[in-house]
Chain A
């Protein structure tokens, strides 16, 4: 006689299915990058403050491979999304869309850098001066997804993307020439030219697969930067434009359909990159919380107050001389957008590790960088206060 299959009450089955759906959604969000970095940071903070010697020994060992090899893939991924969004046919292609966000970015940089430098000068801690690009960093994903949750279909989304891209590009230009290692071997220029040349030949031959570009040209570019003592994490930046692209709709960091070789790179490497982001948070986010000091407050003030004020002032000045706000973006929406861009988090952390070496300066600025995540909450709070977007009713 066959044993009877065990049955469960209907409500237990429903709870079980719900839990599996939640777990699946969480795992999906983790892998898509929404949670990978914050989870890594959270673990790092707990570890650093409970077993600091073991944490810092581990993080120092992993720092170079994670920050200069692993992050090269993340930056390559971001670069690819930017290229496809701004190329002809892409959601951000029209130059008309760029002007006001660029003005806003300039205002945001001036506002955040001004507040940061003013604060450290006022406290007579000029040793912190070099950290000003960290205050300017914008976490593109945080800004985008916070705004998407508040203003899902509005001119604010492309506006904030362009503002964030322009702002972070300035920061990258500042930190790229910094020297992560002491040794400069030379010969990097030649390697870079070979790498770019090969990428150009592959493109001309219509090589569709991404692997040759990344493995051959990307590796040459990586060693080119390394030999010149520059940050090799930017290795894929000059290579990615050579990859075959197609214009993409405005859905940042979304996993596109794996329908052709063009998106195969993103599809294949997305999970790896999220793992790298987790490690990045783990390696760089750990800091002893009592390490806060002048740099912490300078950074927080600059990002959460200086940048939004700078953006509002710059856009206000542009409108006063004849520019128009994008359709669907009024002054209240602009304020929420400016606050959404005040979170530096990922990029602030990346800039901090790119500019500063191990030591108490890095520690206090790391705490500030992590604290700028409060910008997302400020944006939501402002949206509620001023009844913006989904809080309009």
Chain B
């Protein structure tokens, strides 16, 4: 009877676009988010700036989770604002939805998406320092933030130099347009991939976060790099994912965000939907560059 119930439950979850963590190659949930004192904790959010109720719901969920899992920063993967972007819109589409987190001192580090006004890089709340592309380090992790709306030669040269100079334990890159994605609307941006992936492989990028497709997806490691699409922080395209051989897990039924914890050589992650349900989880063990 219990076996039948389990089979029925799994079948229902599968048709609802939910791949249980235990079935997608990740280690069981018990190993995720250990919440160690010395680890780096952050959240990841993409395509969120609608100013509509789902964005507020996600913001409230993040604040609720923050009470137990004290992440101190949020990576914003672009399309941080939709539609009009006047000063009052920064209140309704950013400051208000995430008021609790901002009050707690959580820092948001944004990249620009195709819907963002380029001048938003000067907005203090996005911590971009007025730059389209930049890098920053937190504990043992260096983040490389790119503007993939246009991968101009100057940006490419900057990235090459910045990656070359980095001797950090973890190297994480994030930008708006996914190099790998099984969503139907946009999918993988191969023209960017052939330029960026060789650099990522050469210099040992560990993880890449992107948005643009309004779903959540985790790809199987591609040339040693784990790719995430986390573009449903406010926007959503229900049922948009067409899973393929490269899909490790996906969720396209509700808005979601990610929690990440980097502890030593392990990166733990969870994807949580608006209702607080865990839709994916796992751990990535960092591999030295030469071993890939």
Interface residues of A (CB under 8 A from B): 52-53, 56-57, 60, 124-127, 179-182, 287-288, 290-291, 293-294, 356-363
Q: A residues within 8 A CB of B185?
A: 290
Q: B residues within 8 A CB of A287?
A: 191
Q: Do A126 and B151 have beta carbons less than 8 Å apart? A: no
Q: Known pairs A127-B118, A358-B195, A361-B150. 5 more at Cβ < 8 A? A: A53-B190, A53-B193, A127-B114, A357-B152, A360-B114
The CA of A356 and the CA of B155, in the complex, are separated in Å by 13
- Chain A CB count within 10 A is highest, among B112, B116, B117, B190, for B190
**B7 CB to nearest chain A CB (Å):** 36
Q: List 27 A-B contacts (CB under 8 A).
A: A52-B190, A53-B193, A56-B194, A60-B191, A60-B195, A124-B84, A125-B114, A126-B118, A179-B153, A182-B157, A287-B191, A288-B187, A288-B191, A290-B184, A290-B186, A293-B114, A357-B150, A357-B151, A358-B151, A358-B192, A358-B195, A359-B150, A359-B177, A359-B192, A360-B177, A360-B191, A361-B114
Q: A182-B154, A288-B190, A360-B189 are in contact. Are A126 and B149 (CB under 8 A)?
A: no
- By Cβ-Cβ distance, the 4 closest A-B pairs, closest first, are A182-B154, A52-B190, A357-B152, A182-B153
Does B85 touch A at the CB level, under 8 Å? yes
**B150 CB to nearest chain A CB (Å):** 5
Q: B residues within 8 A CB of A293?
A: 114
**A48 CB to nearest chain B CB (Å):** 8
Closest residue of B by beta carbon distance from A59: B191
Q: B residues within 8 A CB of A180?
A: 153
Does B82 touch A at the CB level, under 8 Å? yes
Q: Do A359 and B191 have beta carbons less than 8 Å apart? A: yes
The CA of A57 and the CA of B198, in the complex, are separated in Å by 11
Q: A residues within 8 A CB of B194?
A: 53, 56-57, 60
Q: Identify B149's interface contact among A53, A57, A124, A360, CB under 8 A.
A: A360
- Chain B CB count within 10 A is highest, among A288, A359, A361, for A359
Closest residue of A by beta carbon distance from B197: A53
Does B148 touch A at the CB level, under 8 Å? yes
**A178 CB to nearest chain B CB (Å):** 10
Q: A126-B118, A290-B187 are in contact. Are A359 and B148 (CB under 8 A)?
A: yes
Q: B residues within 8 A CB of A358?
A: 150-151, 191-192, 195
The CA of A181 and the CA of B118, in the complex, are separated in Å by 21
**B147 CB to nearest chain A CB (Å):** 9
The CA of A56 and the CA of B157, in the complex, are separated in Å by 19
Q: A53-B194, A290-B187, A359-B191 are in contact. Are A125 and B115 (CB under 8 A)?
A: yes
Does B28 touch A at the CB level, under 8 Å? no
Closest residue of B by beta carbon distance from A360: B177
Q: Do A124 and B151 have beta carbons less than 8 Å apart? A: no
Does B239 touch A at the CB level, under 8 Å? no
Q: A residues within 8 A CB of B276?
A: none
The CA of A363 and the CA of B184, in the complex, are separated in Å by 17
Q: A residues within 8 A CB of B151?
A: 357-359
**B230 CB to nearest chain A CB (Å):** 18
- Chain B CB count within 10 A is highest, among A125, A127, A291, A293, for A127
The CA of A9 and the CA of B156, in the complex, are separated in Å by 66
Q: A residues within 8 A CB of B154?
A: 179, 182
The CA of A234 and the CA of B82, in the complex, are separated in Å by 39
Q: Identify B190's interface contact among A56, A124, A356, CB under 8 A.
A: A56
The CA of A69 and the CA of B84, in the complex, are separated in Å by 42
Scan B106-127; emit 1 where CB is below 8 A from any A CB, else 0: 0000001011111000000000
The CA of A362 and the CA of B118, in the complex, are separated in Å by 16
Q: Do A127 and B149 have beta carbons less than 8 Å apart? A: yes
Does B25 touch A at the CB level, under 8 Å? no
Scan B156-191; emit 1 where CB is below 8 A from any A CB, else 0: 110000000000000000000100000011110111
Closest residue of A by beta carbon distance from B185: A290
Does B83 touch A at the CB level, under 8 Å? yes
Q: Do A124 and B82 have beta carbons less than 8 Å apart? A: yes
Q: Do B153 and A181 have beta carbons less than 8 Å apart? A: yes
Closest residue of B by beta carbon distance from A53: B190
**B213 CB to nearest chain A CB (Å):** 11
The CA of A361 and the CA of B191, in the complex, are separated in Å by 11
The CA of A180 and the CA of B156, in the complex, are separated in Å by 12
The CA of A362 and the CA of B156, in the complex, are separated in Å by 16
Closest residue of B by beta carbon distance from A356: B150
Residues B70-98 near A (CB distance < 8 A): 82-85
Q: B residues within 8 A CB of A124?
A: 82-85, 115, 117
Q: Do B191 and A56 have beta carbons less than 8 Å apart? A: yes
Q: B residues within 8 A CB of A60?
A: 191, 194-195
Q: B residues within 8 A CB of A181?
A: 153
- Chain A CB count within 10 A is highest, among B82, B150, B193, for B150
Q: B residues within 8 A CB of A53?
A: 190, 193-194
Scan B25-67; emit 1 where CB is below 8 A from any A CB, else 0: 0000000000000000000000000000000000000000000
The CA of A321 and the CA of B114, in the complex, are separated in Å by 44
**B67 CB to nearest chain A CB (Å):** 35
Q: B residues within 8 A CB of A290?
A: 184-187
- Chain B CB count within 10 A is highest, among A124, A126, A181, for A124
